[in-house]
Structure 1
């Protein structure tokens, strides 16, 4: 396909979601929050009461998610669940089911369907390595676990949710372990990805850096 894709992969709270949204707006591209699909699956699993280890039923739910996105709002059927899928409980469940190969495969068609003109910015953990291996630009966005824990803590406070910094830090370390050690699509930089450390850059600086890389790459290909 001749539709350009920018992938931004990285661990939880590395800033990839915010960066990807702003960059998509700057380029007038579509945006895919692949993590939201896993969170939506986790929410559906928790609500259905099925066994969280029943990979077959979870994959069935994932393959037919009745979801859609309206700018920064996320809907499951007609219900807005933007905030509901951002809880720590849903995040932890999403991380666990994301380790199931059958669930990851069930979501690939849904994810690739977001590739539409004029282009797509996709963030996640395997966007550049598995879902869009032919992406024009691949970014691996990282940050120290302390910086990420602080960011997550502030995000939760802004939503009126209180949590413990040490607990958040432990959760991030555990999620990183699950994401990097899973057999199916582990969290690793694509071989042709550009690694950026957002610990030392602001959101605007990160967006501008990726924007310049994309323009440079596009000019080289033209």
Structure 2
């Protein structure tokens, strides 16, 4: 079993940015589980699957293979063998991922892949249910959060920088809706594991958050 860090938290809390930096600093492998769910969301979008129909989603799962490979230390998400890194960050893919991730078959499919990665090497893994479901025995569990306003502002700045037209009120609404979906789904809802350390990044810089996590890991 690897020495693992589990990072959970709501959409837009900065989990993947933080986890990547911590991974580099501590020499861990970074596993972005959200990207795996996004790959499934992308498949559903491309194939016009009605994601309100569980049977249709289950059937689609039989046609999907999602895996992760590392090329020069960069994580690549493969959907049926195709590197889909360039497609999975779109807003509509994220929303689709949030809808499909509540289905048991989708979760079971990815859970095995994620556990396997963590058994083979020392990883830092981020998602919604890492500390509670995927890596319940992780050395260190972090619950990373930030206020809805902070998360919306970060997302807004990110999109503006990419030249995307957006409305901050809409983004706030989106984030609130995703929080609700993630926290209220029946399977593996987003919640803080009992033994997780709460880190609120609303008023912290990325560097400060990373430092906090690295110090906690080294203490253990």
Please report the TM-score for the alignment, with normalisation by the length of structure 2: 0.91
**Aligned: 1:213 with 2:212:** no
Name the counterpart of 2:65. 65
Name the counterpart of 2:131. 128
Distance 1:67 1:15 in 2: 23
- 1:193 Cα shift? 0.2
Structure 2 segments unaligned to the other structure (5+ residues): none
Name the counterpart of 1:4. 3
**Aligned: 1:185 with 2:188:** yes
Distance 2:84 2:148 in 1: 27
| Greater Cα shift, 74-83 or 128-137 | 74-83
Name the counterpart of 1:147. 150
Assess if the C-alpha contact under 8 Å between 1:41 and 1:94 holds in 2. yes
- 1:105 Cα shift? 1.8
Distance 2:165 2:44 in 1: 25
Distance 1:9 1:39 in 2: 16
Please report the TM-score for the alignment, with normalisation by the length of structure 1: 0.90
- 1:156 Cα shift? 1.7
**Aligned: 1:169 with 2:168:** no
- 1:73 Cα shift? 4.4
Give 3-state SS (helix, strand or coil) of 1:115's partner: helix
Name the counterpart of 1:44. 43
Deviations 1:184-217 (A, max 9, x none): 1111000000000000111111011100000001
Q: Label 1:28 to 1:20 Cα distance change in 2 as closer, same or farther (>3 A).
A: same
Distance 2:3 2:59 in 1: 30
Give 3-state SS (helix, strand or coil) of 2:118's partner: coil
Structure 1 segments unaligned to the other structure (5+ residues): 218-222
Residues paired across the two proteins, number = 216
Deviations 1:131-164 (A, max 9, x none): 0000000000000000000111112223332211
Assess if the C-alpha contact under 8 Å between 1:95 and 1:179 holds in 2. yes
| Greater Cα shift, 56-65 or 119-128 | 56-65
Q: Label 1:198 to 1:104 Cα distance change in 2 as closer, same or farther (>3 A).
A: same
- 1:34 Cα shift? 0.6
The partner residue of 2:86 within 83, 90, 93 is 83
RMSD value, Cα:
1.8
Name the counterpart of 1:220. none
